[in-house]
Amino acid sequence: MIKIISNNFGAECLDFRSFEKEGLMVANGRFYFDPSNAAYRAADVLEIKVSDMVLSKSANAAVYLVDRDNEMPHATLLKAWVKDCNTICMEPCRCFDDRPMLDIIFCSGFVAKGRRDDMVLDEATQISVEATAGTFELDYPSLYCKLCIKDEAWGFMSMLFRKFQAPEIGQEFSFIIPELPDNMDCWGVFVISENYQDIGSPVCICKITGKVAHFTPIHKYYNYANGNRFMTMWFVLNND
């Protein structure tokens, strides 16, 4: 497990979990920071210093930058990469710099730069959703709603919804994904692919604990039973 040592943009680490093997590093976690702080304003590249990683240089990956204090959280993607065995880098995007607090959410896979192997997600499981309230209907689950766990330690999950409607406006909500293992403990970002503002896409921050996915509230503008809502995530199982 990688240990977070420091960063150059004044962020606090809320949670971070990782898995490593040759050619691959999976990272899942959440950082938060005030974008008015001087260290962030001065940083041309956002850097997180970590204990020695197996991976010394990666191809480009992505992390989420989330404006969580918006009426409805909005997010965009930051380019991220492993610079060396002690540094994870991100290219800053200044679109939310006037906001009071921002999150960076890792649900990402970093692959060795120049590696050309196929990543075979064998033994993928079709997933389902169980909810006592709200309307949550998956779209083409045999194609787009899959769970794959590797090495009994990490995995990848994708979900696409035909209908997604929270039971109450302005309230946190949850549903069960029965195919998940009991030791899930990870962050994700649920994306709504329509927007009523100029910057970013509306999102719900998701925390999965065991088989239960918990979501931040959804605004009334987006809470109607419509499609084009999705979540894809790399995760690390809690084997502590």
State which CATH number among 1.10.3470, 3.30.1660, 1.10.1760, 2.60.40 fits the domain covering 125-236: 2.60.40
Under the banding of pLDDT at 50, 70 and 90, the label for residue 227 is: confident
Kindly give, in sequence order, each residue whose CB lies less than 8 Å from that of residue 198, ignoring residues fewer than 6 positions away: none
CA proximity to 42, closest of 68, 13, 67, 10: 10
Backbone torsion region of residue 44, taken as left when φ is above 0, otherwise alpha when ψ lies between -120 and 50, otherwise beta: alpha
pLDDT value of position 7: 98
pLDDT over 80 (residue 195)? no
Q: In whole angstroms, what is the distance from residue 140 CA to residue 137 CA?
A: 10
* Phi, psi dihedral angles at 104 (to 5 degrees): -115, 125
| CA of residue 29 relative to chain centroid, distance | 8
CA angle 183, 90, 104 (to 5 degrees): 45
To which H or E segment does residue 25 belong?
strand 24-33
pLDDT value of position 71: 83
pLDDT over 90 (residue 194)? no
> What 3-state class would DSSP assign to 47?
strand
Under the banding of pLDDT at 50, 70 and 90, the label for residue 140 is: very high
CA angle 61, 14, 105 (to 5 degrees): 25
Of the given ranges (44-53, 112-121, 165-174), which has the lowest mean pLDDT?
A: 112-121
DSSP track, 150-197: ETTTEEEEEEEEEEEE-SSTTS-EEEE-TTS-TT-EEEEEEEES--SS
Of the given ranges (27-36, 129-138, 146-155, 222-231), which has the lowest mean pLDDT?
A: 222-231
CA angle 229, 151, 14 (to 5 degrees): 55
Q: Which two tokens stand for residue 193?
A: 């692919």
Question: Which residues of the chain does CATH 2.60.40 include?
Answer: 125-236
What letter would DSSP give residue 86? T
